[in-house]
Chain A
Amino acid sequence: MISWIIRRLFAGLVTVWFIATATFFAMHLVPGNPLDNEKAVAPEIRANLEKRYGLDKPLLAQYGIFLGNMARGDFGISFAQENREVNDILREHFPVSAVLGITALLFASIGGILGGALTAHFRGRVADRLVMVAVIAAISVPGFVVAALAQLAIVNMNSWHGSQLLPVAGWGSPSHIWVPALVLGLGTLAYLTRLMRSSMLEVMSADHIVTARAKGLSAMQVFRRHELRNALLPVVTELGPTVAAITTGGFVVELVFAIPGMGRYFVQAVQQLDYTVIMGTTVFYGAFLVLVVVVVDIIYGFIDPRIRLYGADQ
């Protein structure tokens, strides 16, 4: 098991290198230069700036220097924020995205698992139908529309109620999180509900559940010991990609709700061609996602012992 984890982590490192390389060259393909600005500068100043950021060296040399620095965990200095290090930017903005993402994930997974299990149990009844219609609708509306409508709803609700029930935008207190997180997690919530429902339906008709019922176990016992655990398997598998979708999908929500997260920062960085920030963000996110996948694999192994056995062989 341990050696399997180590091997997975090593493969993860290679993946991070690949991400870094792909980003580096994709970025340098972009015509233009982060040092280009509205006001043209004297060639002497331009030369000094290029020297400061190491852009005067050949591309491959820049790549070598970048890899060396990356290995030491140093992504350099932002082009747009002249006296801030990329590491500082990540340190300040990533936790914001993480808190938002985790809250969204909690909403989505708790809501999805409960919703899926319940609708499966009430299959075919009105409640099931209603939830499934809501779920389908939630999947079908683009996130930015939901976000903008949610904000509008808050403004109207506050002015109707005459007090600040919920903040319109911004960051800094728990009350700032709920609505953006819900908006962010909505698609995933709907997706997990569907997944859980079908998985649950499948499990409920499985032979061992029939046996368990026949043995005389109560519905709750059957649910907890057999159904939930087995039905969760496919849901857990989906958690990896889900975490990825939620953490990097925060762009829209961060934009609309003025949340100082990493997603919003990344969009700006691409627009300003802020080489160092783009590199830092993609590599950091890539590494984070690789780690998440490994963690999910391990969790999966604990839930389903078969995987541990087979996994160790592969």
Chain B
Amino acid sequence: MSSIDAGLFTPLQRDGKAIKDAEPLAVPGLLNRLAANAQARLSFAVLVALFAFAVLGPVLWPQSAAEQWLSDVSVGPSRSYQALLVDPYAEVDLPAAQQLTAVNANTEFVDLVWPPVDGAARYAIYRKLANSDTVAGLPLATVTELSYRDRLQLRRKAYVYRLVALDAGGSALQELSLRVSPVAALSVFEAQMHGLVKTGVSAASLQGQQVTIPAHPLGTDAFGRDMLARLIHGARTSLFVGLVAPLLFTAFGTLYGALAGISGGRVDQYMMRFADFVVALPFLLFMILLRVSLGIGPGDSGINTIILAMLLLSWPGPARLVRGQVLQLRGHAYVQAATIAGAGRGYLIIRHLFPNILPLLLVSLSFAIPSAIFTEAFLSFIGMGVAPPTPSWGSLCNEGIRHMMSHPHELIFPALLISIAVLAFNLFGDALRDVTDVRTRQRLI
């Protein structure tokens, strides 16, 4: 063997930069590189904002996510308003009418009275919004009396009532119509329930007082619950599931894979064969099956069940990844050198293995999180997600999609948050992968 030229050991150059051999990437270096990456900075800022939304949200927006304002069910973004206290349970004497008249008109009830129509057996009452150009309207009731109390989801809007007098055969004899603009009102019982006025006081004495109904900047859901508060609590659920499930299954997978890789031989073979089995389970089918068979008890939010199901099904991914790395590292000269030098297993794991696989795990984690958020949303969408009344972005979407056409805000806001979160995690993952230069894909075989 001839003499070796020292020049052989200078790093190869590409694009003016030295091509480095794979070397352990220290975490501080990683952070510096991330900080230098614009995409990473931006997506990280979005993520911080989302977590702040979830954590600080309840402080900044103290409305309860459970309070049901039944007079404001499924309303869009709304301001605070004054409502008159009324007692819908009080007996009222309705006067005889010369024409179709609204005796009382507030958002708790509208009392309609009308004069008898000759030959009429029944009266059909319809209601529509005054600004709608349709004819039909909502069929409220068909009555035989000469009065009707409408209590059906009255809003602070102008309505047109249409009264159709029908003969015994059901043919229309005459039509009357009336425009009514109910004033904002709240029943005494509800005001007491919400704690707006004292209990133990007679309803009659409270009538006529004004109370303040709070604003809902993002509207309300189908129970009149504040959408913003629901979204904040939903963020807690979705981000919690999205973070904790991947963390757990990555941690478990890492241990499992490291154990298999270090043990080697038979043990490694059996352990990985078992991992192969679990990988073969059809994921969504088993998520649904496990969600049902693990069950959710009374009062349980179901978050733990979903996390457990994800853990049971998703650990083999990181396990395979880590095991592959371990096997590869075991072949590396410096690890062998360390072993020969008498390094213990613990030292090897902490000094060599861990720094090597950490970037890899971080990258795989950053992609596992958005997919976990999606999985939770999907389960909630088919009604197999978190148990009500716990909100999650997915369950909010599920509720919202039913009212998609009439109250789009109920779908748009949660769907938007899911998209933003998933997008931010994906972009962050991309950036992380770029700076660590890690291959996430694994080869089969």
Contacts and interface: CB of A to CB of B under 8 A. Distances in A.
* A interface secondary structure, majority: helix
Nearest to B280: A15
Given A148-B401, A237-B444, A282-B286, A29 B280 contact: no
A68 interface: no
B282 A136 contact: no
Contacts of B381: 142, 144, 252
A251 B289 CA distance: 14
Interface in A4-34: 11, 14-15, 18-19, 22-23, 26-27, 29-31
Nearest to A281: B285
Interface stretch (A55-63, A168-176, A285-293): A285-293
Interface stretch (B138-146, B186-194, B416-424): B416-424
Interface stretch (B147-155, B202-210, B290-298): B290-298
A36 B12 CA distance: 72
Interface in A141-167: 141-145, 148, 152
A114 interface: no
Interface stretch (A76-84, A85-93, A212-220, A306-314): A306-314
A282 B289 contact: yes
Interface string B371-402: 00010011001101000000000100100010
Contacts of A188: none
A139 B405 CA distance: 24
B286 to A, nearest CB: 7
Given A152-B405, A310-B445, A252 B283 contact: no
A142 B282 contact: no
A286 B292 CA distance: 19
A22 B277 CA distance: 10
Given A148-B401, A270-B288, A285-B282, A297 B441 contact: no
A249 B381 CA distance: 13
Contacts of A111: none
Given A300-B444, A310-B445, A248 B284 contact: yes
Given A142-B374, A307-B445, A270 B292 contact: yes
Nearest to B434: A198
A293 B277 CA distance: 13
B53 to A, nearest CB: 17
B423 A140 contact: yes
B396 to A, nearest CB: 11
B276 interface: yes
A50 interface: no
Contact of B427 (A26, A136, A314): A136
B415 A252 contact: no
B281 interface: yes
B420 to A, nearest CB: 8
B272 to A, nearest CB: 12
A144 B444 contact: no
A234 interface: yes
Interface string B306-344: 000000000000000000000000000000000000000
A245 B287 CA distance: 13
Interface string A241-258: 000110011011001000
B445 A314 contact: yes
A240 interface: yes
Given A234-B441, A237-B443, A22 B378 contact: no
B445 A142 contact: no
A142 B418 contact: yes
A228 interface: no
Contacts of A240: 444
A136 B430 CA distance: 11
B295 A19 contact: no
A256 to B, nearest CB: 9
Contacts of B426: 136, 139-140
The 8 closest A-B pairs by CB, nearest first: A140-B423, A29-B293, A18-B277, A140-B419, A140-B422, A15-B280, A26-B293, A30-B293
B411 interface: yes
B404 interface: yes
A110 interface: no
B289 A278 contact: yes
A15 B281 CA distance: 9
A30 B292 contact: yes
Contacts of A30: 292-293, 295
A144 B441 contact: no
A270 B112 CA distance: 50
Contacts of B405: 152
A128 interface: no
Contacts of A281: 285
A127 interface: no
Contact of A238 (B404, B441, B445): B441
B285 A248 contact: yes
A145 B422 contact: no
B443 to A, nearest CB: 6
A240 B442 CA distance: 12
A270 B295 CA distance: 13
A252 B382 contact: yes
Contacts of A75: none
A303 interface: no
A23 B423 contact: no
8 contacts: A139-B422, A140-B422, A141-B418, A142-B378, A145-B401, A252-B381, A282-B286, A289-B282
A266 interface: yes
B341 to A, nearest CB: 32
A311 B295 CA distance: 42
Contacts of A245: 283
Nearest to B426: A139
A252 B292 contact: no
Contacts of B444: 237, 240, 293, 296-297, 300
Nearest to A296: B444
Nearest to A283: B282
Contacts of B422: 139-140
Given A144-B397, A245-B283, 10 more contacts: A29-B293, A29-B294, A136-B426, A139-B423, A145-B411, A148-B411, A252-B381, A282-B289, A289-B282, A296-B444
A143 B378 contact: yes
Contacts of A49: none
A18 B394 CA distance: 31
